[in-house]
Amino acid sequence: MTRDINYAQWADYIEKIFAQNGLIPKLILDLGCGTGSMCIELSRRRYEMIGVDSSVDMLACAKQKAIDENMDILFLNQDISTFELYGTVDACLCLLDTLNYITENDKAMSLFKLVHNYLNPGGLFIFDINTYYKFEHVLADNVYYSIDDDIAYIWQNEFDKSKNLCRFDLTFFVSNEEGLYERYDEVHTERAYTHEEISGFINMSGLTMVSCYDGLSFSKPVNTSERVFYVCRKE
């Protein structure tokens, strides 16, 4: 759940990757920016930000956050597999398993090629994925739930190994001003990608894989890694 994400910690990690690769970016693109939390956090650190997302509702929330903090962030309502920019950027991010939401090979390939097209030479593409192991052994067909004072949710998973697709059925109960709980239902689908598939997208797009790490660390991934970060460069 993104409400539990420590965006400052994630931004710290991204900045360490920049430093390790000798990159001092000025303009950063955030693909699948959602409600803009990462854009806001990085804007606080004096980066110029562009956020792209296909959800009008999420972008409305993102724009309001930027207004509240007096930030000038460009938010674009576009599909991240077909996005268009007016110019190039120094770094591109695609975080919080956004890439897993692209379930078709041609659309994933399109995203990687567009990133290559819009990155300045020497620029970095940093993204993370939920691993195949996580889908098969952790999420699998399990049910999760959480109960807090203001919100409760039930999260049911169904992993189809024949299609490498995981369906998430989410039911939320959110407290309103009258103290009653309103129900909301969401359905999400993510694709389980292998390392070999991701490597193929990177190579065919013209990008170069610099490194990959076990989630929010600088250790090499292992067979039981649940989240892996990839760092790619445009030469």
CB neighbours (10 Å) of residue 57?
A: 9
Q: Rg for the chain (alpha carbons), in Å?
A: 18
Do 157 and 166 meet the contact criterion of CB atoms below 8 Å apart? yes
Closest C-alpha among 80, 43, 45 to residue 62: 43
Give the model's pLDDT for residue 75: 98
Which residue type does 175 have? S
The span from the CA of 183 to the CA of 160, in Å, is 27
**137 and 89 in a common domain:** no
Phi and psi dihedrals of 163, rounded to 5?
-115, -5
**151 and 118 in a common domain:** no
**138 and 228 in a common domain:** no
In sequence order, the β-bridge partners of residue 131 are: 193
Give the model's pLDDT for residue 29: 98
Domain CATH for 88: 3.40.50.150
Query: Residue 206 region, left (φ>0) first, then alpha (ψ -120 to 50), else beta?
Result: left
Q: Which of 176, 191, 206 is the last residue of a domain?
A: 191
- Mean pLDDT in each 10-residue stretch from start to end of the chain (235 residues)? 82 98 98 98 98 97 97 98 98 98 98 98 98 95 89 93 96 87 93 98 98 98 98 98
The helix (run of H) or strand (run of E) holding residue 20 is helix 7-20
**12 and 120 in a common domain:** yes
Domain CATH for 152: 2.20.25.110
**137 and 186 in a common domain:** yes
The pTM assigned to this predicted structure is 0.94
Closest C-alpha among 122, 125, 96, 135 to residue 9: 96
**15 and 113 in a common domain:** yes
**144 and 43 in a common domain:** no
**207 and 104 in a common domain:** yes
Give the model's pLDDT for residue 4: 79
Its domain, for residue 24, covers 2-130+194-233
| Domains in the chain, number | 2
**100 and 55 in a common domain:** yes
Give the model's pLDDT for residue 3: 58
**30 and 96 in a common domain:** yes
| CB-neighbour burial class of residue 179 (10 A; exposed 0-12, middle 13-18, buried 19+) | exposed
**112 and 8 in a common domain:** yes
**174 and 200 in a common domain:** no
